[in-house]
Structure 1
Amino acid sequence: MEGSWFHRKRFSFYLLLGFLLQGRGVTFTINCSGFGQHGADPTALNSVFNRKPFRPVTNISVPTRVNISFTMSAILDVNEQLHLLSSFLWLEMVWDNPFISWNPEECEGITKMSMAAKNLWLPDIFIVELMDVDKTPKGLTAYVSNEGRIRYKKPMKVDSICNLDIFYFPFDQQNCTLTFSSFLYTVDSMLLDMEKEVWEITDASRNILQTHGEWELLGLSKATAKLSRGGNLYDQIVFYVAIRRRPSLYVINLLVPSGFLVAIDALSFYLPVKSGNRVPFKITLLLGYNVFLLMMSDFLPTSGTPLIGVYFALCLSLMVGSLLETIFITHLLHVANTQPPPLPRWLHSLLLHCNSPGRCCPTVPQKENKGLGLTPTHLPGVKEPEVSAGQMPGPGEAELTGGSEWTRAQREHEAQKQHSVELWLQFSHAMDAMLFRLYLLFMASSIITVICLWNT
């Protein structure tokens, strides 16, 4: 019993060795006596089907050359959070099987036939960046020519990892890679090549691309590389897929409304501060902008810091700054209308400097004899009551003189107070105009800078 078991093991080993070494240097020709108008006789290919587990070579030291080509028929999605590119490919692989050969003249003129791929040896080509289980449908067929060339096509939904750069969102371009390699056969057993040129693959993909949504295909390029793993070298072909986002959806839904809100905020400076409507209007506008950002958050990438996020933060900062400026001017007006302190001399000089003709600040309309720092008693044509030397006012005259002096002092106090109010009002209007111009300058420079960055 033990001897018979040993002989069976030896027989299996020699049978396997025979399949590997059978026909070294000999051409195998299929007997197609069973071919006819209904196709080929299945039994005629049994010798080929029996060699399915082994790489089809007559010399085991000669590597099998597999030509790879694919067509990208759809760009399904780009997940910015997981950095995944979802696409649909038609992968095509072509290789030679020296054990398949027949004479078309003897086989009813048949030069090509299809057969179930499960009956043939298939190269173990996979995509390195693949992040999901290969969901290739079962029961596919392959075309076999009379010279032993096998052409195998299979559809693939590929979820591949892609290092996305979302800084320029929504005007971004991405460059993803699809690396085809073998996980079993080294360069001594399998070499990868291309059956078509890269430009042919690009043109074919553009012609049959069925999705015209958010992404468009710019082009393809390739590079060949060798992967070293565990002391072994594996052949690879790397395809670079360049895609670009169509930004029209985000421009209409994000950038244009945000620009309108900022423009309305800038125009709100023309509302008079004294009316008390500017602050409530700006607060309402600021709340509306925050609601807009909350509603549009689903359109923005959830990872990284895109430039559009900086743009929104900049617009929000401009609106908050304009609100603070309005609050500051309102406070100045409140101080001017209640009990204004004396305007500092340096501030008074600066105000006179700005209100002089040809200066940057606008000239605030002034009343007659106002804003010059002169009290009514120092105005030309106004003389103080004179007392003649040697004349002493009598009791009645002293009483009248004291009353007139009190009245004059009261008038001077009122005039000085009114003069201080006018100075503070002029200062408030000058500050409002200056801060408004600074606001416009900062807004224009910031938005132009962001647009220039997007254009790069």
Structure 2
Amino acid sequence: MTGSLLSTGRGDSFTINCSGFDQHGVDPAAFQAVFARKPFRPVTNYSVPTHVNISFTLSAILEVDAQLQLLTSFLWMDLVWDNPFITWNPEECVGINKLTVSAENLWLPDIFIVESMDVDQTPSGLIAYVSSEGRIRYDKPMRQNCTSLSSFLYTVESMLLGMDKEVWEITDTSRNVIRTHGEWELLGINKATPKMSVGSNLYDQIMFHVAIRRRPSLYIINLLVPSSFLITIDALSFYLPAESESRAPFKITLLLGYNVFLLMMNDLLPSSGTPLISVYFALCLSLMVVSLLETVFITHLLHVATTQPPPMPRWLHSLLLSCTSPGRCCPTAPQKGNEGPGLTPTRPPGPKEPGELGKEVRPGETELDGDSGWTKTQLVELWVRFSLAMDALLFRLYLLFMASSILTVIVLWNT
């Protein structure tokens, strides 16, 4: 009896007898013959593949694993295909152009996510929209990690995938409805249509590439600001007295603190590739290491200057004279005929110079050095001043390199 409700129409199409349709509802018996064909692919010729058009709307970004570059999203996926066995004449069916039918009674294409190994959590009891021309639209919500869609059973001889909407339409619709908790920004969606080969079988596939960007406020507040504070404190530590014993331990403490900071923020950066912010952190760490090495070098110079100062070459003494201010002029080498134990270095009035390091001139220190013609006290003063001049020079070079490097990173960031 139900077979009489499905009559052959023009060509290879079939038309449902909707004489039972009235204003009180749809006669379920009119679709029994169609529902009985559910296990089979709805085609009149099995050599013709079924065309399934796919589109989706990205409605929420649930989770992003920045290290694995894995996006967990919630989307509505739309599948559209034609069923030649579900057609009717709207004029004969009280003007009905579209019906909602339980998806459990229809053949559904087995579109799945290639990379997903989770259990499908799509709710049951969904419905499909069926038009009078036999076009079926099936929408279902999905939680997924990737967007590579393919058929599980049907090869390209049986099923071909296409697009129901253009990619720019999908992108615009997703931007209007997406919820990201203010953290992520949807940049765009692109697609590719590679074929998936499994053994001797070839499957049609559509791969969507979703480009998102984390809003910069997270990086600025949680990463850039603390890092900038630490590198600024490291630069200011050069104002600690070079001869004091607190500069090197202070810099070591800062370096250890910065390493702890890098370990804490490591979860926010991707494990593959080299993002620009990682380059910035590596640069800051390198600057702090160079700063510590400079302090070690200056400390060594001061130690040598106050224990066993070597003779200072004439060219180095002349260079030191030209680089120091008149108020802190270094003592000149004694001329012949003026050498004697009574020669003392000239000093500006005021507190003692750092080169003295709390030492008083003892009688044995006024003897002349046979190689340079200076007393040991004068050599100590010269080498201490040379150490302080080197400290100032290296500090200026450090600031120049730090400023140029940070400006380069900022320019690259903006471009």
- TM-score, normalised by the number of residues in structure 2: 0.81
- Deviation per CA, 1:34-63: give whole Å up to 9, x if none: 323332121221100001111112222222
Question: Contact between 2:242 and 2:388, CA under 8 Å: does it hold in 1?
Answer: no
> Are residues 1:198 and 2:167 paired?
yes
Q: CA–CA distance in 1 between the matches of 2:253 and 2:200?
A: 68
Distance of 2:282 and 2:246 partners within structure 1:
25
Q: Residues 321-341 of structure 1: CA distance to partner in whole angstroms, max 9, x if unpaired?
A: 32332233234334434x433
Structure 2 Cα separation of the partners of residues 107 and 87 of structure 1: 41
* 1:183 maps onto 2:152 in alignment: yes
For 1:140 and 1:411, the matched residues in 2 are separated by: 102
Deviates more, 1:70-79 or 1:221-230: 221-230
1:341 equivalent in structure 2: 309
Q: Is the counterpart of residue 103 in structure 1 residue 89 in structure 2?
A: yes
**Paired residue for 2:123, among 114, 137, 162?**
137
C-alpha deviations, 1:52-77, integer Å up to 9, x for none?
Answer: 11111222222222221111111222
Matches within 5 A, 1:304-453: 306-337=275-306, 339-345=307-313, 348-356=314-322, 361-363=323-325, 365-366=327-328, 370-374=330-334, 378=338, 412-413=367-368, 416-453=375-412
CA contact (8 A) 1:116 1:141 kept: yes
Q: In 2, are the aligned partners of 1:265 and 1:319 still within 8 Å (CA)?
A: yes
**Alpha-carbon distance in 2 for matches of 1:455, 1:64:** 48
**Counterpart code for 2:176:** N
Structure 1 partner of 2:347: none
Aligned-partner SS, 1:378: coil
1:68 corresponds to:
54
Counterpart CA distance in 2 for 1:411 and 1:98 is 114
Listed as ranges, the matches of 1:148-297 within 5 Å are 148-160=134-146, 178-297=147-266
Give the 3 Å change call, closer, same or farther, for CA 208–411 of structure 1 in structure 2.
Answer: closer
Paired with 2:166 and 2:175, the residues of 1 have a C-alpha distance of 15
Letter in 2 for 1:351: H
1:365 is displaced (CA, Å) by 4.3
- Equivalent residue letter for 1:128: V
Is the partner of 2:204 in helix, strand or coil?
strand
CA displacement, residues 168-205 of structure 1 (integer Å, 9 cap, x when unaligned): xxxxxxxxxx3332232233322222222221111111
Is 1:29–2:15 an aligned residue pair? yes
Give the direction of change, closer, same or farther, for the CA distance of 1:364–1:454 in structure 2 (3 Å limit).
farther
Equivalent-residue separation in structure 2 for 1:281 and 1:179 (angstroms): 53
The alignment yields a C-alpha RMSD, in angstroms, of: 3.1
SS in structure 2 of the partner of residue 132 of structure 1: coil
Instruction: Check the 8 A contact 1:91/1:155 in 2, yes or no.
Output: yes
The superposition leaves residues 216-248 of structure 1 with CA deviations (integer Å, 9 ceiling, x where unpaired) of 211122333434443343333332322222232
C-alpha displacement of 1:304: 5.7
Displacement of 1:311: 3.2
Aligned pair in 2 of structure 1 residues 49, 410: CA closer, same or farther (>3 Å)? closer
Q: Which amino acid counterpart does residue 426 of structure 1 have in structure 2?
A: R
- Letter in structure 1 aligned against 2:308: P
Q: What is the alpha-carbon distance in structure 2 between the residues aligned to residue 262 and residue 201 of structure 1?
A: 45
Long gaps (5+) in structure 2: 1-7, 344-362
Q: Alpha-carbon deviation of 1:421?
A: 1.8
Q: Which position in structure 2 is the counterpart of 1:391? A: none
For the residues of structure 1 that align with 2:135 and 2:410, how far apart are their CA atoms? 55
- Post-superposition Cα deviations, 1:103-146, rounded to whole Å, max 9, x if no partner, equal 32332322211111010011122232334332211111001112
1:403 corresponds to: none
Deviations along 1:297-349, whole A, 9 cap, x unmatched?
Answer: 44344556554344334323322332332233234334434x4334242xx42
Kindly indicate whether the alpha-carbon contact (under 8 Å) linking 2:52 and 2:81 is maintained by their aligned counterparts in 1.
yes
Q: Residue by residue, what CA displacement relative to the aligned partner does 1:70-107 show, whole Å, maximum 9, x if unpaired?
A: 11111222223444221111111111111112232332
The one-letter amino acid of 1:432's match is: D
Aligned twin of 1:11:
none
Please say which of residues 218-227 and 107-116 is displaced more in the overlay. 218-227
Once residues 168 and 137 of structure 2 are traced to their aligned partners in structure 1, the CA distance between those partners, rounded to angstroms, is 21
- The two structures have a TM-score, normalised by structure 1, of 0.75
Kindly indicate whether the alpha-carbon contact (under 8 Å) linking 1:375 and 1:416 is maintained by their aligned counterparts in 2: no
255-264 vs 43-52, which moves further: 255-264
Aligned residue in 2 for 1:3: none
Alpha-carbon shift at residue 377 of structure 1 (Å): 5.3
Q: Secondary structure at the match of 2:232?
A: helix
Runs in 1 of length 4+ with deviation above 6 angstroms?
none
Q: Where do residues 109-120 of structure 1 align in structure 2 (5 Å cutoff)?
A: 109-120=95-106
Structure 1 unaligned runs (5+)? 1-21, 161-177, 384-407
* SS of residue matched to 2:258: helix
Specify whether residues 258 and 47 from structure 1 end up closer, same or farther in structure 2 by C-alpha distance, changes over 3 A only: same
Partner SS, residue 64 of structure 2: strand
Kindly state the Cα deviation for residue 155 of structure 1 after the two structures are TM-superposed.
Answer: 0.6
Higher-Rg member (1/2) = 1
1:437 CA displacement:
2.3
Percentage of identical aligned residues: 68
